Amino acid sequence: MPERARILQVGTLGDETDATLQAQYDVLRLWETPGGLDALAERTAGITAVVTSVRHGCRADLIARLPDLRAICSWGVGYETIDVAAAHARGIAVSNTPEVLDDCVADLAWALLLAAARRTSVADRYVKTGQWRSIGAFPLSTRVSGKRMGILGLGRIGEAIARRGSGFGMEIGYHNRRARAGVPYRYVESLVELARWSDFLVVACEGGPATRHLVSAEVLDALGPRGIVVNIARGSVIDEAAMVRALAEGRLGGAGLDVLEHEPAVPPELLGMDQVALTPHVGSATHETRREMAQLVLDNLASFLAGRGLLTLVAA
Ligand code: 8YV
């Protein structure tokens, strides 16, 4: 029997995927190694691939301990927790799991937009706690169809969100570093101007230092007292303290948030706000999508080990 490939797994990817990996490869499980990274010492020779996730990451100090490393296969479309620059500097390829989660993340953006505008979670509580009977009619909310949606970050997920907007008869605008050729949506060069134009501003760009606090107090003020911000990207993109102040002072109309700046910590002010709909970072969290994400990690790894290279490469 040929020797099984040695891989290092940073954290669990769920029982099923962990078991599949262990059945096929010689897996060193970092999270079960007493002493962690410091205890690895000479056990790292011959490890050519790391399996990780955007949650568990892969830092430069781990990369530095693996002299034979050639590939990092990560679960999740985001990779801000992986030191891609350190990997590429050594010629180590990195893969993520794009595309398979676009539809579910876009669906959730719409669920949050509808929940914040139409107050569906508040209305649900209203019915379940008997207030429909005791108080009577529910307060009026905000129309969604036919409005203007601005998208910060028109990538694959942004486009899936935009496509759904046409079913709601919406006008769509977007802001990226550069205008994209061949897309039918209005490009707005300034994010403040996009926010001023929009009824709903949806954050769908990548996380990391380059996009930190792009949605600033100024952007939120431009969105205004009737505007709603939706974030399915990363909490770091919005200046959360400024957003909480704007919501509390009525300078911002509402928010639908799947991600927060210091997860799982929630600013306590948000908990009492009916104009805010919250979900616990579950954009990709459906049975179907999570299965496909796990499979894509396994496929990337198998392709690399068979000498065919990674399938869904993170660009340099
Ligand atoms: C996950 C994600 O839901 O792929 C990503 O980058 O953010 C999501 O798929 C998230 O990592 C869960 O913690």
Claim to verify: residue 93 and residue 153 sit in the same structural domain:
no
Q: Report the C-alpha gap between 252 and 217 in whole angstroms.
A: 10
Claim to verify: residue 172 and residue 236 sit in the same structural domain:
yes
Distance 225 CA to ligand 1 centre (A): 30
Amino acid type, 283: G
Any ligand 1 atom below 6 A from CB of 284: yes
Query: Domain range spanning residue 135?
Result: 102-278
Mean pLDDT for the stretch of residues 174-197: 98
**Is residue 1 a part of any domain in this protein?**
no
**What distance lies between CA 260 and its chain's CA centroid?**
11
Claim to verify: residue 50 and residue 130 sit in the same structural domain:
no
Claim to verify: residue 155 and residue 20 sit in the same structural domain:
no
**Is residue 164 a part of any domain in this protein?**
yes
Q: Report the C-alpha gap between 52 and 54 in whole angstroms.
A: 7
Closest residue by Cα to atom 1, ligand 1, is 284
Claim to verify: residue 158 and residue 111 sit in the same structural domain:
yes
Omega before 184 cis (within 30°)? Answer: no
Any ligand 1 atom below 6 A from CB of 278: no
Claim to verify: residue 41 and residue 178 sit in the same structural domain:
no
Distance 281 CA to ligand 1 centre (A): 7
Claim to verify: residue 300 and residue 222 sit in the same structural domain:
no
From the alpha carbon of 78, which atom of ligand 1 is closest? Answer: 6
Closest residue by Cα to atom 4, ligand 1, is 76
Residue 42 has pLDDT above 80, yes or no: no
**CATH number for position 225:** 3.40.50.720
Distance 133 CA to ligand 1 centre (A): 40
**Is residue 310 a part of any domain in this protein?**
no
Claim to verify: residue 234 and residue 116 sit in the same structural domain:
yes
**Is residue 163 a part of any domain in this protein?**
yes
Claim to verify: residue 274 and residue 295 sit in the same structural domain:
no
Claim to verify: residue 33 and residue 81 sit in the same structural domain:
yes
**Is residue 142 a part of any domain in this protein?**
yes
By annotation, the residues acting in catalysis are: 234, 263, 281
> Probe ligand 1: pick from 54, 107, 292, max atoms within 8 Å of CB?
54
| Domain count within the chain | 2
**Is residue 311 a part of any domain in this protein?**
no
Any ligand 1 atom below 6 A from CB of 98: no
Smallest CA-to-CA distance from 5 within 44, 49, 42 is with 49
What percentage of the chain reaches a pLDDT higher than 70? 99
CA atoms within 13 A on the CB side of 253: 24
Reported as a single tens digit per residue, the pLDDT across 120-167 is 999 999 999 999 999 999 999 999 999 999 999 999 999 999 999 999
Any ligand 1 atom below 6 A from CB of 192: no
Reported as a single tens digit per residue, the pLDDT across 20-37 is 999 999 999 999 998 888
Q: In the structure, what pLDDT confidence band is assigned to residue 224 with cuts at 50, 70 and 90?
A: very high
Looking at the DSSP assignment, which residues form a beta bridge with residue 257? 231, 278
Looking at the DSSP assignment, which residues form a beta bridge with residue 71? 49, 93
Any ligand 1 atom below 6 A from CB of 54: yes
From the alpha carbon of 263, which atom of ligand 1 is closest? Answer: 13
**Is residue 314 a part of any domain in this protein?**
no
**Is residue 186 a part of any domain in this protein?**
yes
pLDDT at 2: 63
